[in-house]
Amino acid sequence: MNTVMCPECGEVIAINPDEVELASRLVCEGCYSTLEVVAEDPIEVAVVEVDPDEVEDDDYDEDDDI
Ligand SMILES: [Zn+2]
């Protein structure tokens, strides 16, 4: 088990290297920032700025052909 430090708040986050890969995303339990894995060895994470407007709404019905 590896740990990384949240770049936003300093929270130490446990990461299982077998479960993450480049571009994997996780959420900091300290500040709820979305973090993205930017390096695997050693594991580094960067804060991802998530724009609410860019979040895909899977519930949106795109079957409207009109
Ligand atoms: Zn954090």
The label of the residue with tokens 């079957």 reads 63
Q: How far apart are CA 38 and CA 35, in angstroms?
A: 9
Give per-residue pLDDT as tens, 1-40.
789 999 999 999 999 989 999 999 999 999 999 999 999 9
pTM higher than 0.75 = no
Which residue from 17, 63, 57, 13 is spatially nearest to 41, judged by alpha carbons? 17
User: Can you give the length of the chain in residues?
Assistant: 66
Three-state secondary structure call for residue 18: helix
> Distance between the two ends of the chain, CA-based, in angstroms?
52
Q: Give the distance (Å) from ligand 1 centre to CA of residue 56.
A: 23
Domains by residue range for the chain, with CATH: 2-54 (2.20.28.160)
Q: Give the distance (Å) from ligand 1 centre to CA of residue 16.
A: 18
